[in-house]
Amino acid sequence: MERCRLVFSGSGGQGVITAAVILAESAVLYEDLIAVQTQSYGPEARGGATRSDVIIADSEIYFPKVNQPNVLVCLTQEAYNKFYSIVRPGGLLITDTRFVKTWKKVDARQKELPMYQTIMEKIGKPIVFNIFMLGSLISMVDLVKPESIMKILETRIPSAFLEMNRQALRLGMELGAQFNY
Amino acid sequence: MSQNIRFIQGNEVCVEAALYAGLNFFAGYPITPSTEIAEHLSLRLPQIKGRFIQMEDEIASVCAIIGASLTGHKVMTATSGPGFSLMQEGLGYAIMAEIPCVIINVQRGGPSTGLPTSVSQGDVGQALWGTHGDHAVIAMTASNHQDIFAMTVHAFNMAETYRTPVILLFDEVTGHMRERLVIPEPGEFPLVERLRTSVKEGVDYHPYLPREDGRLPMSDFGGKHRYNVTGLAHDMWGFPSNNPSVVQGLLRHLVDKINNNSHNITRYNEYEMEDARTVLISYGSSARSALHVVKNRRARGERIGLLELQTLWPFPFGLVRQKCADAKYIVVVEMNMGQILQPVRMAVDNPERVYLANRIDGVFITPTDIKNILRIIQGRGM
């Protein structure tokens, strides 16, 4: 596979870092790929724009951070304002319509998905926002299979919540597929 | 999926490796960016009937592990710069009293409380000369999870072999980064166990009388033998002495047992070094950026290589001298103001060949940073 550099950004509590760890872990444990995940620490990561970097590849990864992501996900306005300009030319920028108003054209595929709105309409619980986002992402970018993500979720999430996460992942994929043009 | 593959933070790797090596006592005071080590050990140690104690500060932490080690346990503490400063007194005591222990410093920006959440390699010099008096220390580091595991096990082995504290210098990036770790099978790495005296109960035991090979068999404190342990200069019974020949012999022993065994302590990696005209020397997380540059430039045909040091102290002078013999440019890549640059300059002929590529602003050094400096060094302008 082509080396994919991703940046997930949003605010604390949206689960962007968890989503990054789940994605990278599923790539390593179930897809036999190499992945590295890092995240921003410190005051800027608390309350402000949190950020997590993931690199997924089939060859060794040395430098573990991402300067120019192929895929940039922004889940808040602040994160978008701060990071939109770093997306790699020809890359993919995913934002959520409820939280982000895009105001700048970038040299990348720019997709504004009603992720939050769909979750609230169909599931009613914002807690699965990050898993929904992962579903949308993997239907737009060839990274990992949904089953691999589910296997990771099975080890991390109480069984009572598994079905909701499975549904979020599937709905996310359906929404992503509609926007993948 | 193999049961042995994990996707975890560097700090957790360190925990897994310490347990693999036989750790069963940890005392510490959590501090960013080392906190996950204490966090995970607080869960794991009680499961194997080990002891985890959260202490009131770092002075108490280092003293607690020294005491536990004397009673026969494999021990460790973990901290970052400010805590490492507080531990210097205990570190010196463990050197003088020859007590095996492992001290982990996950480095952050300094001096003082500095930059709690930012990466740095500013404590390299402190690891060697942070505590007072003539002495030698063992300090080691690693740049990826597999090596963090191997070096942590090596640290415990060296501590037991030479009856000395061993310092592991990790940093915020290696500590917090997640990547794949294949947990080695039991037995894959040899483990050095405590050398205990064969002197029977009731027979005189000399705690500081070296065997022919220089090693000192220990007796679990509070067990079969009564003996004295002190930070004062001492004789073979462990009692204070200011006899010049005893003091001379003690200091020589403390330094020689480490410096004369550099070949056994030194670990390193080399990449693309065969015909390298430009040699990068790096260690810890900054070696990852350096390796990125080396692989990229090699692919374009440049004769460039990386010598990644894993043992920093005792400094591998002979190794560096030999590996750099034919280099036109030697570039030390580190995140401080040249703490390894200095010994590299001492190690090589024509030290004007040695340059520094560094960052000291709390930001992880990038391949672009290194490339920009290389352009200037190699005379290609900006």
Per-residue pLDDT tens listing for chain B (382 residues):
457 999 999 999 999 999 999 999 999 999 999 999 999 999 999 999 999 999 999 999 999 999 999 999 999 999 999 999 999 999 999 999 999 999 999 999 999 999 999 999 999 999 999 999 999 999 999 999 999 999 999 999 999 999 999 999 999 999 999 999 999 999 999 999 999 999 999 999 999 998 888 789 999 999 999 999 999 999 999 999 999 999 999 999 999 999 999 999 999 999 999 999 999 999 999 999 999 999 999 999 999 999 999 999 999 999 999 999 999 999 999 999 999 999 999 999 999 999 999 999 999 999 999 999 999 999 876 5
A1 versus B134: the higher-pLDDT residue is: B134
Predicted ipTM of the assembly? 0.95
Proportion of chain B in helix, strand, coil states, percent, rounded to 5: 40, 20, 40
Q: What does the DSSP 8-state code read for residue B115?
A: B
List pLDDT tens digits, range A145-158: 999 999 999 999 99
Q: Would you state the pLDDT for residue B2? A: 57
B299 and A CB contact within 8 Å: no
Q: Would you state the pLDDT for residue B355? A: 98
The residue behind tokens 């239907």 is A139
Three-class SS of A117-163? HHHHHHCCCHHHHHHHHHHHHHHHCCCCCHHHHHHHHHHHCCHHHHH
Q: Would you state the pLDDT for residue A46? A: 63
| Cα distance between residue B21 and residue B41, in whole Å | 14
Under 8 Å CB pairs connecting chains A and B tally to 61
Kindly report the nearest CA distance between residue A30 and chain B, in angstroms.
6
| Cα distance between residue B87 and residue B59, in whole Å | 5
Kindly report the nearest CA distance between residue B289 and chain A, in angstroms.
5
Among candidates B1, B295, B364 on the partner chain, residue whose Cβ is nearest the Cβ of A29: B1
| Cα distance between residue B293 and residue B374, in whole Å | 10
| Cα distance between residue A82 and residue B271, in whole Å | 37
What kind of architecture, by CATH, is found in domain B267-377?
3-Layer(aba) Sandwich (3.40)
- How are beta strands B25-28 and B75-79 bridged, if at all? parallel
Among candidates B33, B179, B366 on the partner chain, residue whose Cβ is nearest the Cβ of A35: B179
Least confident of A55-69, A82-96, B202-216: B202-216
The first and second tokens of residue A31, run together, are 């897809």
| Sheet with B138-140, side-by-side order of all strands | B51-54, B25-28, B75-79, B101-107, B165-171, B138-140, B311-313
Q: CA angle at residue A92 from A86 to A95, to 5 degrees?
A: 85
Kindly report the nearest CA distance between residue A40 and chain B, in angstroms.
9
**B 91-110 residues with CB below 8 A of A?**
none
Q: Would you state the pLDDT for residue A119? A: 97
- By the 8 A CB rule, do A135 and A146 touch? yes
Residue in chain A nearest B286 by alpha carbon: A63
Q: Would you state the pLDDT for residue B61? A: 98
Q: What is the DSSP string of B255-285?
A: HHHHHTTHHHH--EEEES-TT-SEEEEE-TT
- By the 8 A CB rule, do B129 and B305 touch? no
Contacts of B352 (CB under 8 A, 6+ apart): none
A64 and B CB contact within 8 Å: yes
Q: What is the percentage of chain A residues whose pLDDT exceeds 70?
A: 96
Chain B residues within 8 A of A41 when measuring between CB atoms: 32-33, 117, 172, 176
Say if B1-265 and B267-377 have the same CATH topology.
yes
Domain ranges within chain B, ordered by starting residue: 1-265, 267-377
CATH class of A4-179: alpha beta
- By the 8 A CB rule, do A79 and A51 touch? yes
Q: What does the DSSP 8-state code read for residue B310?
A: S
- By the 8 A CB rule, do B60 and B107 touch? no
Domain ranges within chain A, ordered by starting residue: 4-179
Sign for the CA dihedral angle at B17, B19, B22, B26 comes to positive
Least confident of A93-102, A124-133, B32-41, B209-218: B209-218
- By the 8 A CB rule, do A37 and B177 touch? yes
- Integer-rounded Cα radius of gyration of chain B: 21
Q: Would you state the pLDDT for residue B214? A: 79
List pLDDT tens digits, range B113-169: 999 999 999 999 999 999 999 999 999 999 999 999 999 999 999 999 999 999 999
Contact B178 A21 (CB under 8 A): yes
Closest among B307, B326, B329 to B378, alpha carbons compared: B329
| Cα distance between residue B333 and residue B357, in whole Å | 5
Q: Give me the helices (H) in chain A, please.
A: 16-30, 77-83, 115-122, 129-140, 146-156, 159-179
| Cα distance between residue A38 and residue A44, in whole Å | 15
B146 versus A105: the higher-pLDDT residue is: B146
Q: What is the DSSP string of B3-41?
A: TTEEEEEHHHHHHHHHHHHT--EEEE---TTTHHHHHHH
| Sheet with B268-271, side-by-side order of all strands | B268-271, B304-309, B278-282, B329-334, B354-358
Mean pLDDT of chain A: 94
- By the 8 A CB rule, do A4 and A55 touch? yes
| Cα distance between residue B235 and residue B85, in whole Å | 29
Kindly report the nearest CA distance between residue A116 and chain B, in angstroms.
28
| Cα distance between residue A50 and residue B29, in whole Å | 27
pLDDT at A47 over 70: no
Chain B residues within 8 A of A25 when measuring between CB atoms: 7, 178
B117 and A CB contact within 8 Å: yes
Chain B residues within 8 A of A65 when measuring between CB atoms: 364, 366
CATH code of the domain occupying B1-265: 3.40.50.970
Among candidates A24, A30, A41 on the partner chain, residue whose Cβ is nearest the Cβ of B176: A41
pLDDT at A131 over 70: yes
Closest among B122, B119, B124 to B10, alpha carbons compared: B119
Q: Would you state the pLDDT for residue B211? A: 87
